[in-house]
Amino acid sequence: MKILKIVSLIVAAVFGSISLQAQTADEIVSKHIEAIGGADNWKKVTSIVETGAMSLQGITIEVTRTALHQKGTRQDLSIMGMNNYIVVTPTEGWMFMPVQQQTEAQKMPDEQLKEAQGQLDVQGAFIDYKSKGHSFELAGSETVEGVDCFKLKMTGKNGVVVMHFIDKKTYNLVQSVRTAEGNELVTTFSNFKKLPEGIVVPMSSVVPLGNGMTAEYTVSKIEINKPIDEALFKPSK
């Protein structure tokens, strides 16, 4: 009996290992897309206007993010009574940060623009990722924020590599890690909410600010497919 029990355990371990390995990157991506509302719902999204607030060392920063699919994104940041903005388009990017003593909009460096242009895809990199030129590779498993996750390595069309950690139970995105200018930038997501449009989005996150600093970001309002004037993505004071 003892030998039979040991054999049974070995068989279970082998088949368990095979089952784990059978989870391909494609299957995990597919289940993640299903968890966030399905590809059909996300493909209907042409614009997003997101309002929220960022908390950093006792300072509250009001944030409005406006994105028009593959046309442009703009983040308006109200910091200590000063209005700042960051604009990204398919061809250029601009930053106007009077909080940093800027008196006019500054053009974004090419390398920074290259990374930021991923924000132009309001439907997300997971949707139709192959046709967009991205690739995913299953890089094992890891526990993140106490959650057992699949570790997916995404290489974007622009060459930017991002590690995505997908909850093995819910298939929600727990955390993303990308490297920029030699720094690991970690974003952690939580408080997922299903919108009337059928898509699921995180309403809370911890976002990287660089130099090891992070801020807590909370979304208060999301508007989907609101008409947006493309003039918003041109630099202005």
Query: CA-to-CA distance for 233 and 164, rounded, in angstroms?
Result: 29
Please compute Rg for the chain using Cα positions.
20
The H or E element containing residue 222 is strand 213-224
Domain ranges of the chain: 25-232
* Residues whose CB falls within 8 Å of the CB of residue 224, separated by 6 or more in sequence, listed in order: 45, 47, 48, 195, 197, 199
DSSP one-letter code for 7: H
* Distances from the Cα of 159 to the Cα of 25, 109, 137, 190, angstroms: 18, 17, 14, 27
Asked if residue 5 has pLDDT above 80, the reply is no
Check if the beta carbon of residue 197 is closer than 8 Å to that of residue 44: yes
Interval 18-62: pLDDT, tens: 344 447 999 999 999 999 999 999 999 999 999 999 988 888 999
Average pLDDT over residues 166-175: 97
User: Would you say residue 66 has pLDDT above 60?
Assistant: yes
Task: Give residues with Cβ within 8 angstroms of 121, minimum separation 6.
Answer: 69, 70, 132
What is the DSSP secondary-structure string of 142-208? EEETTEEEEEEEEE-TTS-EEEEEEETTT--EEEEEEEETTEEEEEEEEEEEE-TTS-EEEEEEEEE
Residue whose pair of structure tokens reads 């289940």 in the numeric block: 31
Query: If pLDDT is split at 50, 70 and 90, which confidence band does 237 have?
Result: low
In terms of CATH architecture, what is 25-232?
Clam (2.50)
Please report which confidence band the pLDDT of residue 159 belongs to, taking 50, 70 and 90 as the band edges.
Answer: confident
Q: How confident is the model over 184-191, as a mean pLDDT?
A: 92
